[in-house]
Copies of this chain bind each other. A is one copy, B any other.
Amino acid sequence: MVSALKNGPDYRQMLREAGLRVTPQRASIVTILSETDDHPSVEDLYEKTRTLDDTVSVATVYRTMSVLENAGLVRKLVMDDAPARYEMMPQTDHDHLVDVESGDLVEIPGTEISELMGRVASELGYRIVSHHTVIRARKV
């Protein structure tokens, strides 16, 4: 999952295709977010990105996440009481579950939940823009 090239052209291209300017900061942030398998907060992302590129500021991480979210490249996970977390927009849709004991974020594979939501919303005359669902659960 880890690319050999730091800041490889793949990420730059992804940005360019979305019609966004490619800055070194954006490339670094996307690199870090892409190669991480947990769901980092802005603060996490900031710290990790800094090890790769120390010109990045927190403000830029916030701004970048916002831009990427609007471009549909990343998904924001709104938490109940903790700062938001982010993931690259998944190709295989899934939902999330927070382990209330550990705080871990577990991915729920499968697309059933959002399909059902879409169906139910359309019965009310709506089309889903996004659904920010976080399930709090405890190990059995």
Contact = CB atoms under 8 A, between A and B. Distances in A.
A137 B125 CA distance: 10
A21 to B, nearest CB: 24
A113 to B, nearest CB: 6
Contacts of A133: 117, 131-135
Given A110-B120, A140-B122, A132 B134 contact: yes
Given A76-B80, A100-B129, A113-B120, 16 more contacts: A78-B78, A95-B117, A95-B120, A97-B124, A99-B126, A108-B124, A113-B116, A117-B135, A122-B140, A126-B139, A127-B140, A128-B135, A129-B137, A129-B138, A131-B133, A132-B133
17 contacts: A78-B79, A78-B80, A95-B117, A100-B129, A110-B120, A117-B133, A117-B135, A121-B135, A125-B139, A126-B135, A126-B140, A127-B137, A127-B138, A128-B137, A129-B136, A130-B136, A131-B135
